[in-house]
Amino acid sequence: MSYIIEDVEILYPRINQPYKFDQTAGDNGKSVPCDPFEDGAKYETKFRMNKDQAKALYVPMAEAYATAKEKSWPDKIDFPFDKQEDGSFVGKAVLKAAYGKDATVKPKQYDAKSKELPDDFKLTTGSTANIAVTFYPYFMREAGVSLRLRAVQVTKYLPLEAASPFSAVEGFEIEEDGNPFETASPVKKPASEVSDEIFEDTPAPVKEPTKVVKSKKAVAPKEADKDLASIVEEWDA
C-alpha cells in the first residue's frame, strides 16, 4: 500500500547515496557513505510530525497491518513513533540499498513543482517535505509496519551550511560591510528645479492584468475508524 506523508520536517536525511553505520567512525560511530551491497547499506530519513499528523499516519498503518495480519500475529501494532519532550512525534522511512544481488532504485527527490532534482542533491535537516512510502506489515520480535522510502518532494529547503572545525578564539576578525542605507544622504535638489520635460517624455507603465485565483472547496476529511481513534487517543495518557 502506497502512502504520502505530507508537510513534515526532515531530520537526518541520507538519500543522495547509500549509507551504513560505522562504529569506528567519529567518537561514538556515525553513518558513512558506502557501497549498496555492504551490510547495513540503506537510504533513510527521519521526520517530525505534530500530533494530528501522527494520528493521520497511524490510522492507515494500523489498517494495513490488520489486512495483512496472520493468525499468530498480535492484534495490533506496537506504537510506531518516538514521542518527543515538546509533544511532537518522530517517524522513520527506510529503503535497503540492495536485496540479495540486486541493488534497489535510489529514492527520487523532487522540488515543489514535481521537477526531479539532481542525482547528487543533498536534502538537509530542517527542510520541509512530502514523503512517498510503501507500507510493509511485519511481525518478528514486535508487530509493526515499516515505511519503505520511495521518493521525497521538497517543499521548503534549508540551505546546507558548512560547519567550521574550529572554536572561537581571540584574534583577527573580518570586518563586515557597512549598511549602505546608514551613510549620509546626498543633498537633494529641490523639486521646483527639476524640469517637467523628463516626465513628459517618459511613457506610462503598462498595467498588468489582475489574476483571479479561484478558491478550492475544502474536502471533508474521512472519519477514521472508531476503534483506531480510541487507540490513538490513548497517546495522551
Do residues 66 and 104 lie in contact, with contact meaning Cβ atoms separated by under 8 Å? no
- Is 64 contained in some domain? yes
Do residues 124 and 45 lie in contact, with contact meaning Cβ atoms separated by under 8 Å? no
**Three-state DSSP class for residue 67:** helix
pLDDT band at 173 (very low <50, low <70, confident <90, very high): confident
Do residues 133 and 47 lie in contact, with contact meaning Cβ atoms separated by under 8 Å? no
- Is 224 contained in some domain? no
Q: Mind listing the pLDDT tens digit for each residue in 29-87?
A: 889 999 999 999 999 999 999 999 999 999 999 999 999 999 999 999 999 999 999 99
- Is 72 contained in some domain? yes
Distance in angstroms (rounded) separating the CA atoms of residues 115 and 41: 27
* The pLDDT value given to residue 75: 93
- Is 136 contained in some domain? yes
What distances in angstroms separate CA 196 from CA 116, 187, 191, one per listed residue? Answer: 53, 20, 10
Tell which wins on pLDDT, 206 or 202. Answer: 206
CATH for 26: 2.40.50.140
pLDDT band at 199 (very low <50, low <70, confident <90, very high): very low
pLDDT band at 215 (very low <50, low <70, confident <90, very high): low
Interacting residues of 62 by C-beta distance below 8 A, sequence separation 6+: 76, 77, 145, 228, 231
* Number of domain units in the chain: 1
**Three-state DSSP class for residue 156:** strand
- Is 138 contained in some domain? yes
Q: Which domain holds residue 153?
A: 2-160
- Is 19 contained in some domain? yes
If one counts every other C-beta atom within 10 angstroms of the C-beta of residue 18, the result is 24
